[in-house]
Amino acid sequence: MSRIGNPFAALISRLQRARVEDQSIAPRARTQSATPQPVADETTNQRPAAFRPVSLDAAHTARVGFNQADRLRANLSAMFRPTAAPAMPAAVTTAATTTAGATQTVTGSAAPNAAIRDFQATTSSIAINDDLKTTGVRVDVNIAHSYASDLVVKLRSPEGREVVLRNREGGRGTGTVSFTANPADFNGVSTKGNWTLVVEDRAGGDIGTLRNWSLALTGTRPATEPPPVNGGRTVTQTATPNAAIRDLQTTTSTIAIQDDLKATNVRVDVNIAHTYASDLVVKLRSPQGQEVTLRNREGGRGNGTVSFTANPSDFNGIDAKGEWTLIVEDRERADVGTLRSWSLSVTGTERAPVPPRPTPPPDNSPLLLGNPSNATTDVRNENNYLVVRDQFTASYSRADAKPNWVAWHTDQSHLGREARGKFDENSTDNQLPEGWRRITTFDYTGSGYDRGHHLPSADRTASREANNGTFLMTNVIPQAPDNNQGPWERMERYVRDQIRQNDMEAYTVMGSYGEIGRIPGQGGDANIAIPDRVWKVVILIPRGDNDLERINRDTQVIAVDMPNRQGIRNENWENYRVSVTDIERATGHQFFTNLPPDVQAALREKGR
C-alpha cells in the first residue's frame, strides 16, 4: 500500500488546491476569508491534514465540476484511510471541593468528541451526585468548527431549564470555538442530576466536533430539616417552578404532601429572583384553603434575590396531607422576576387511622360529590338538618327558617315541556320535624322579596309532579327581585343550555350566607333570615355512567357569589364568577369530598 500511497496523496493534494483556488465561485452565502487555506505537499506520503468532509452539497471547482471535487476526495480518503483505532468512551469525571464556610464547589467534565452535523443538535451530559443549592455556575466549552456563527450552545439543568450560553457569534472564527460562561439563571436550583450541554448547528456547509466541556457548580447544602417534635416525624418536598412573576399578577406553585400528619411545625424556604423586593407579597395556602402571609412587601430594592425562611405557626394542628400552594403576588409595575424554587418541611404526629370512607351514593344522587356541611338527620342538629326530598337534598336551619344550601342533579331526562307550577298551600313542607315552624308561601307576602328557588322550576319540566316538588318552601330563600330575575336567572339558563345543547349533566349546590334582616311572616313568628349573598357551585360533565370516576382535574366548574340586592338586574352574571375556594372560605363548607384529594384541590381552584 505504501508504494501507491504517494500518487494518490498527490492527486488528493491537487484536488485540494483546485478546491481552494476556485473557492470564490462556490455558492456560499458567507464572505470567504482572504487568508489562503493550507494545502498538502505533493511529495509527502501523508494524507493531507486539512482533509475534511466539508461543503459536500455546495462545493464547486473549475477543474472538476460542481460537487465532484469533494465527493472524489471523500471516496479516495475512505479507500486509503488507515484503520481507525477503536473509539474511546467519552471521559466524564466529577469531584466536590469544600470551600469557605458551608459553600462547596462541585466540578464535572466530559470529552465526548462528538460530531456536530449541519442542522442537527449534539448533546453531552455530566452527572452531578451532590445535592447543593446553586449559587454560581461556570461552563467551559471546547468545540472544533469551521464556522463559529453556525452554532447555538445551551446548558440544560436537571429540571429541564435551558439557558443560551452562545448564540451564533464569531463569524468564520479560527476553527476553534472555546469560551467560558457564567449563567446566573440557575441560581437557587438543585445541582443534583444530569446537566446537558446542547450544541445546535443552524446552517449548512460546515461541520465540527464537540471536543470537551467542563462544569463547575458552587452552592450550599440544603438546610437541615427541623427536628421532629414530640416523637413526630418530618416530611420535606421541594419544587423548582422557575415561573415568571409578572407585574400586577399572581404566580403559584404547589407541593403535594402524601403523609397523613397532624402538623406541629411548618417551615418554608423560598428563593425568588426579582429586581424590586418590596413589590412582592408571598403567602402559603394549606390543603384546607387557609392562607398565611409569609412576606409582605419588605426589602426595598434589594439585591435582585429574595430568599427567606418562614415558620408560620398558624398551620399547627391541621392535617398536612394534600396540596400546599405558594402564592407570589406582584403588587406594582416596572419590575418582574422569577419564582425559582421553594421547599416545604412539615413536622407532625401520625394521625389516627381514618375509618374507611363510606360507599358514595349512586350516580345522579344530589350528594354524589359530598355533603358540604356534613348535615345529618339528627333533629338535635337543628341548624344543619338534612332534608331529603324527591327532587333535591338540603341542609336546613331552624333558626333562620330557610335552607343553608340545596343540592340537585340535572340531565336531559329532567327537561321537558311541563308548564311552571305555582306557590300555594301545598308549598309548605310538612315533613319537617314536629314542633318546628313550617314556613308557608304566605309568610313572604308583602316582604318585597321573591320566593327564590334553589332548584329552579325550569330544571324540572319533565312531569307535573317533578315541577311541583321545586315549590316546597324548604327549597326557597328571600331573594331580591333584581338578583333573582336578572343575572341569577341568566346563569341558570346558561347551565340548562349546556345540558340541552351539549348533552351534559350537572351536579349543583346553591346556598346563601350573611344576613341583612328578617321577614316576620304571618303572625310575626316566621323570622325568616334575609341573606346578604347567594352562591352556586356547578360541575358539568358529558352525560354517562360512573360519574365519580369520570370527574377529573380538567372537569368544567362554575362558581358564582352574588350580592342579594336590587340594582343589578342588567349585570352580566359572569362578573360574579369566583373560585370554589372563595366560597369555601366565605361559608365554611367543603366541596367535592368524595373525589380523590388531588382532584378536589384542582377543582377548588376553578370556577372563574
Looking at the annotation, which residues are catalytic?
Answer: 453
The answer to whether the CB of 135 falls within 8 A of the CB of 103 is yes
How far apart CA 442 and CA 452 sit, in angstroms, is: 14
The answer to whether the CB of 140 falls within 8 A of the CB of 180 is yes
Q: Among residues 267, 268, 274, which one has the least CA distance to residue 249?
A: 274
How far apart CA 365 and CA 409 sit, in angstroms, is: 7
Local structure of residue 259 (DSSP, 8 states): S
How far apart CA 165 and CA 210 sit, in angstroms, is: 15
From the CB of residue 296, how many other CB atoms can be counted at a distance below 10 Å?
12
Contacts with 496 (C-beta within 8 Å, 6 or more apart), sequence order? 410, 415, 458, 459
What is the DSSP pairing of strand 208-220 with strand 103-111? antiparallel
Q: Among residues 40, 50, 35, 34, which one has the least CA distance to residue 10?
A: 40
Contacts with 206 (C-beta within 8 Å, 6 or more apart), sequence order? 54, 55, 118, 145, 146, 147, 150
Quote the distance between the C-alpha of residue 40 and its chain's center: 60
Helix (H, G, I), strand (E, B) or coil at 315: helix
The answer to whether the CB of 442 falls within 8 A of the CB of 431 is no
From the CB of residue 478, how many other CB atoms can be counted at a distance below 10 Å?
25
Instruction: Write out the three cell numbers for 315.
Output: 398551620
Query: What is the full DSSP assignment across 71-95?
Result: HHHHHHHHHHPPPPPPPPPPEEEEE
